[in-house]
Chains A and B, each alone.
Chain A
Amino acid sequence: MTEAVSLPQRPAVLTRKGWSAFIVALLVVCALAPLLNLVVPQDSAFHLSDYAVGLLGKIMCYAIVALAIDLIWGYTGILSLGHGVFFALGGYVMGMYLMRQIGRDGNYKSDLPDFMVFLDWKELPWHWALSDSFVATLFLIVAVPGFVAFVFGYFAFRSRIKGVYFSIITQAMTFAAMLLFFRNETGFGGNNGFTDFKRIMGITIATPSMRMVLFVLTGLALLGFYLFGRWLVASKFGRVLQAIRDAETRVMFSGYSPLPYKLTIWVISAIMCGVAGALYVPQVGIINPSEMSPANSIEMAIWAAVGGRATLIGPIIGAFIVNGAKSWLTVSAPEYWLYFLGALFIGVTLFLPNGVVGLVRKLRGKGEAS
């Protein structure tokens, strides 16, 4: 027998350092942020303003999307430029529930949502049947984007559509969905979408404490999905995904059928986006078809690229950097925002193929070497 070889262990979900950082993040989201926002008086320098809570909550939703895109693009090599659809679908499901929660407090004092009264509809369309139930809404937030992704993904992957062709089709998908939701007769409020939400589970939505609850839930979802993503990529499943990205034919000739693998990660990614969308809508108070515009989905891919693909933490950082810059620039110099975004994307593609995380690693590697 040959001499023993020490085989590497299965990679841990997180390193010790990673766990400490994770717990710090958990404390910040669950304890520090509520404390600074609700308990610390407003005139204190440490007070976290309601505006900041709203903004951070929104960006955390985007970070979940960036994480989802990293799983499908960074790890599996499938660039989706249509993840906005799944985000918006989750948002619309939540929006329908919130519309029903308005009850008779709308402008027309009717049982039906205002836009239906405006269209002179007498009863609720069939697809609103479950919108009164919060439990059903929670189920649909996962099921609707998951189902749409499953059907789309099954046919696309079975036909072995790859690379740029796949990306183009996803763009077409999100554009088609946007046109569909723009129409009044589909029953999604047309171009105005849903807004003027009043309550969630009977509790007024626009109170500081409710806002904080949503913020904490979003933070927990982000951290939970991050952990789940780590677990996925540390498993052999994650390595098969990377193998599909690097050499799909080799994967097939190694006895793996790529279709179920691609489909699984595609559906997981879509569901993550759906959950993010559902958390996003009550925080920003509006959902309309512009969320499905092709440009939105492209922007989502940029977050992942800026942060660093196939790192999981990178896209989260990327979502914060890009959206932080966006909320600052659109106030201080709104006309330059799109130029900035374009320049950022070109710059990252040319000079930082591994994004911000790749840059940090490179600098750190150099520091250690010298």
Chain B
Amino acid sequence: MTPDLMEEGARRAEVHAARKQVEGKTESGGRAAGFSRIATPGEVDVTHGRILYLEDVSVSFDGFKAINKLSLDIAPGELRCIIGPNGAGKTTMMDIITGKTRPDEGTVFFGSTIDLLRYKEAEIAQLGIGRKFQKPTVFEHLTVFENLELALKTDKGVKASMLFRLDSAMSDKLAAMLHTIHLADSITRLAGNLSHGQKQWLEIGMLLMQDPKLLLLDEPVAGMTDEETARTAELFLSLKGKHSLMVVEHDMSFINTISDIVTVLCDGSVLAQGSLAQVQADERVIEVYLGR
């Protein structure tokens, strides 16, 4: 190795270190986007400032285009609300993201490196995408505690489940979650005996136990009392920043409380996007969804 090369190397290292200092708080958390960065399998790469990309996604059922050239992206830590008339493709979009439905064409990426179309439902859940269904789905014959315990982020193989034992860190996490979702006094109740609103909360709790990076929530406050809705809004606002959330709702006052950016879907593609006030003023949105 010649002296020039060593000098050259030292100079480059200096420049690199200096650049690292300058680049402070960016959306990507200060990490340099660039070539030759190592992509770790299974790790979500958000250096480009987007945690979810959908591009030109289309899917049709028996000739009916449920999703039509849909393009949408979500930033890390964002809370995005999706509204739209019935049949706009909101649930189908979530089906595509979570691997339940395969699109006919288009690309779906989680971060910059993970092509979601190559994974199955369970794998997508383990990558860090949690989903709440429109109708609350909990394990009715298991207790509240067991429901949360099953959702807990851990090795989910057969052997690991047979030998599973709750350690103290997990217990703390479970206990904290029971408080967060206001079910601490119903630990041993069967989930099937909970009220509708409590089931919704339990399901949200189960999602959070998985420690997801992106949460897809399909009508999370449907059937909740006003008080429960207010508490849910509070919870979501506290999650914002730590997790990315995509919320499908019809409850406008709820959206008003939590939303930054609202996306309006119609006929399987994005009709309008902006703050709630902006989209509410949009002529086309009024036409198809809000009504005059």
CB<8 Å pairs between A and B, sample of 24: A2-B176, A4-B175, A5-B175, A5-B179, A10-B166, A235-B161, A236-B161, A237-B158, A239-B139, A239-B142, A239-B150, A240-B150, A242-B139, A242-B141, A243-B139, A246-B139, A250-B138, A253-B122, A254-B125, A255-B122, A255-B126, A255-B156, A256-B156, A257-B122
Tell me the B94-126 residues at the A interface (CB within 8 Å): 98, 100, 120-123, 125-126
Set of chain A residues within 8 Å of B269, measured between Cβ atoms: none
Whether B268 is near chain A, meaning CB under 8 Å from some CB there, is no
Given A5-B179, A242-B142, A237 contacting B121 (CB threshold 8 A): no
Lowest 10 CB-CB distances: which A-B pairs, in order?
A: A255-B125, A236-B164, A252-B121, A257-B122, A237-B161, A2-B179, A5-B175, A255-B126, A237-B162, A250-B137
Rounded to whole angstroms, the CA-CA distance of A288 and B163 in the bound complex is 40
**Could you say which residues of chain B place their CB within 8 Å of the CB of A252?**
120-122, 125
What distance in Å separates the Cβ of B16 from its nearest Cβ neighbour in chain A? 38
Contact B120 A257 (CB under 8 A): yes
B-side interface residues, number (CB < 8 Å): 44
Q: Mark A232-276, 1 if CB is under 8 A from B, else 0.
A: 100111011011011101111111111011001000000000000
Instruction: Report chain A residues within 8 Å CB of B151.
Output: 254
Q: Which residue numbers of B lie inside 8 Å of A, CB to CB?
A: 98, 100, 120-123, 125-126, 130-131, 133, 137-143, 145-146, 149-151, 153, 156-158, 161-166, 171, 174-176, 178-179, 184, 187-188, 206, 210
What B residues does A254 contact at CB under 8 A?
A: 125, 150-151, 156, 206, 210
Which of the residues A232, A249, A251 comes within 8 Å of B162, measured between beta carbons? A232
- Residue from B130, B157, B163, B178 in contact with A5 in the complex, judged by beta carbons closer than 8 Å: B178
Q: Which residues on A sit within 8 Å (CB–CB) of B153?
A: 255
Whether the Cβ atoms of B145 and A8 lie closer than 8 Å is yes
A240 contacts across to B, CB distance below 8 A:
150, 161
Using A5-B187, A242-B142, A257-B122 as known contacts, say yes or no to A249 and B137 having CB atoms under 8 A apart: yes
> Which residues of chain A come closer than 8 Å to B133, judged between CB atoms?
249-250
**A8 CB contacts on chain B under 8 angstroms:** 143, 145, 187-188
How long is the Cα–Cα vector from A260 to B162 in the complex, in angstroms?
A: 13
A261 to B213, CA, bound (A): 26
- Please judge, given known A-B contacts A5-B187, A236-B162, whether A246 and B174 are in contact too, CB under 8 Å: no
| Residues on A with beta carbons closer than 8 Å to the beta carbon of B161 | 235-237, 240, 261
Q: Once the chains are docked, how many angstroms separate the CA of A257 from the CA of B125?
A: 10
Q: Establish whether residues A260 and B188, one from each chain, have CB atoms under 8 Å apart when the complex forms.
A: no
Which chain B residue shows the least CB distance to A249?
Answer: B137
Flag A159-189 by CB within 8 Å of B: 1 or 0 each. Answer: 0000000000000000000000000000000
- Any B CB within 8 A of the CB of A331: no
Cβ-based interface call for A7 (8 A)? yes
Bound form: Cα–Cα A256–B159 in Å: 12
Residues on B with C-beta less than 8 A from A255 are: 122, 125-126, 153, 156, 210
What is the CA–CA distance of A242 and B143 in the complex, to the nearest angstrom? 12
Q: Which residues of B contact A10 (CB under 8 A)?
A: 165-166
Closest B residue, CB atoms, query A257: B122
Contacting pair B179 A235 (CB below 8 A): no
Please determine whether B206 and A239 come into contact, CB atoms closer than 8 angstroms. Answer: no
Q: Which B residues lie within 8 Å of A242 (CB)?
A: 139, 141-142
Q: Which residues from A are CB-within-8-Å of B123? A: 257
Closest to A254 in B: B151
| Shortest distance between the CB of A240 and any CB in chain B (Å) | 6
The reply to whether A235 and B121 form a contact with Cβ atoms under 8 Å apart is no
11 additional contacts (CB under 8 A) given A247-B140, A251-B150: A2-B175, A7-B175, A10-B165, A10-B166, A232-B162, A242-B142, A245-B141, A253-B122, A255-B122, A257-B120, A257-B122
> Please, which residues of chain B bring their CB within 8 A of the CB of A7?
145, 166, 171, 174-175, 187
A184 to chain B, nearest CB (A): 41
**Contact assessment for A253 and B139 in the assembled complex, using a CB-CB cutoff below 8 Å:** no
